[in-house]
Amino acid sequence: MPERSDYIKILKKMKLDKIIGGCMAVLLLLGGGYVGISQFEPDESDRNYQLIEESMEVSLDEPVSGSETDNQSDNQEGAPPFQVNAKAAILMDAGTGEVLYKFNENEELPPASVTKVMTMLLALEAVEEGKVTLNDEVRISENAAGMGGSQMYMEPGEVHTLEELMKGIAMVSANDGCVAVAEYLAGSVEIFVENMNSRAEELGMEHTHFVNTNGLPADNHYSSAKDIAIMSRELLKHTEGHDWFTTWQDTVNVGLPGKETEFGLTNTNKLIKQYQGAIGLKTGFTSDAGYCLSGAAQREDTKLIAVVLGCETSNIRLQEISKLLDYGFANYETVKIAENGEIMGEFESIKGSPEKVSAVTESDIQLLVKKGNKDSITHEVTIYDDIKIPLEKGDKMGELIIKQGENEIQRYDLVAEEDVKKAGIFKVMKRLIEKTGD
């Protein structure tokens, strides 16, 4: 190991070199030379001297920690061993919302036709709320028929069911269908876009702003990979749309009465043909946005959502989505604990009517775990013994406790399946007598 005197000699040489280099830089600058200042930055040997100089501040008998190599190792801990050829990407578990991979996931980028995920979501939520039905007839306006880009080539005045328009949006990315749906649901495109932005805010989409319903290029129209995954996860909850997302080819009649022609629908999402378990979801492309895709797939109980934005080609888009999904399915699996509304216990009170009430879950309950850890997941049910009567449907009655080994992971509320009123005095007395008789 070099003696301390050796380090001092190196430091002296370093300082002399820097003095000489500095003088040369000043002379060149004063002489009006064209050499850039950046060329006088320390070279690799100067940086080595700097490391030696810094190391002198600690005891030479102790190892120096926090090196560049150590930091790289810490930053990469738990990260998947691959990169995605896109401007931004994310992999999310559809069941829990857990993010399994992310890259520039919050960068605000043009989403192109992936915008239509939100358009379809608002339409299916309106169906679920009973505001409209998929059999409703929608008249096509001149505004809708005048949309360019991907379309169903509909004429002003022709009529289609809401389901036909949704199928066109999902399969061939119909811009005219988006405008027709927006006008039908909200009265105008402008109001519908306001609703899109309001819903995005409700879902916690912090890096999204919509200007139109279809993703055609527009100033201040942007989203992020994470936000797209969030709204895609919400859309997948509506099973009515799953057939549209996964159908490769279909037809629809377009044109005014007496002039109808059969229009072929071929899905723009090649993932559904080429990836095992693919269930959608939506492609997008403009010259500004590049090739984008929100893709989803399900194998057994595990459902994953992958998003890539800004890919250079359609093939790269498909390749990178497949890479993300492959990583998820290879490394994770889902443990299903309970389904929405499943009975997990009951509470009995002689003062209640009815006397017994079931405690049920408020949603599907599942857990994503690393492959091989599935058997370590258990659950316990706790029903409170001090429940007050009357009881309303949805009131908390207990908890479902999820554990991995001996460690508690999460708790979920268990709620009353129905209303429980106070029983009349005579019914209570009768129950007491019956129990005493037993």
| CA–CA–CA angle 72, 75, 78 (5° rounding) | 120
Length of the chain: 438
**Quick count: other Cβ atoms within 10 Å of Cβ 398?**
21
Determine whether 116 is an active site residue. yes
Determine whether 173 is an active site residue. yes
**Dihedral angle at the C-alpha atoms of 270, 176, 261, 168, nearest 10 degrees?**
30
Residue 386's φ and ψ, nearest 5 degrees, are -120, 35
Determine whether 67 is an active site residue. no
3-class state of residue 263 by DSSP = strand
Residue 114 CA to residue 336 CA, distance in Å, equals 30
Residues in contact with 78: Cβ distance below 8 Å, sequence separation at least 6, in sequence order: none
Among 173, 294, 322, 358, the active-site one is 173
Among 87, 113, 303, 323, the active-site one is 113
Euclidean distance between the first and the last CA atom of the chain, given in angstroms as a whole number: 91
Encoded tokens for 48: 């080595």
Query: Nearest Cα to 238, choosing from 125, 133, 155?
Result: 125
Residue 319 CA to residue 275 CA, distance in Å, equals 10
Residue 217 CA to residue 188 CA, distance in Å, equals 19
Residue 283 CA to residue 403 CA, distance in Å, equals 39
Among 116, 167, 226, 270, the active-site one is 116
Enzyme catalytic residues: 113, 116, 173
